[in-house]
Amino acid sequence: MKVQSIVLKKGGELRKGKGFSRGELKEAGLDSKQALKLGIPIDLRRKTKRKENVKILKHHLGSLTSKKKPKSRAG
């Protein structure tokens, strides 16, 4: 699953971004090294923090952790 950020154009329209800002990663509980390991794009030029992007990151992290639950062994 590819994670895509959202940015605001000058006309007030939303469009897909190139990556998440460092502030958005920090609010979601990630640092840049962890994000790169998970395949999350980072845009070092962006300075803004959008609530929508933080929500996207948290949702993506939640889906990753739910997929990696260890299998229970009977025995």
Q: Does residue 36 belong to any structural domain of this protein? A: yes
pLDDT at 71 over 70: no
Contacts with 61 (C-beta within 8 Å, 6 or more apart), sequence order: 28, 29, 30
The torsion angles phi and psi of 50, rounded to 5 degrees, stand at -100, 135
Q: How far apart are CA 21 and CA 25, in angstroms?
A: 6
Q: Which tens digit of pLDDT belongs to each residue from 45-58?
A: 999 999 999 999 99
> Average pLDDT of 3-31?
94
3-state SS, residue 64: helix
| Rounded CA separation 16/6 (Å) | 5
Q: What percent of the chain has pLDDT over 90?
A: 77
pLDDT score recorded for residue 72 = 66
Q: Is residue 71 part of a domain?
A: no
Number of other CB atoms surrounding residue 2 within 10 Å: 7
Residue predicted with more confidence, 4 or 69:
4
Tell whether 73 is covered by a domain: no
> Does the pLDDT at position 75 exceed 60?
no
- Is residue 25 one of the residues assigned to a domain? yes
Number of domains into which the chain is organized: 1
Determine the structural domain holding residue 43 and report its residue range: 6-66
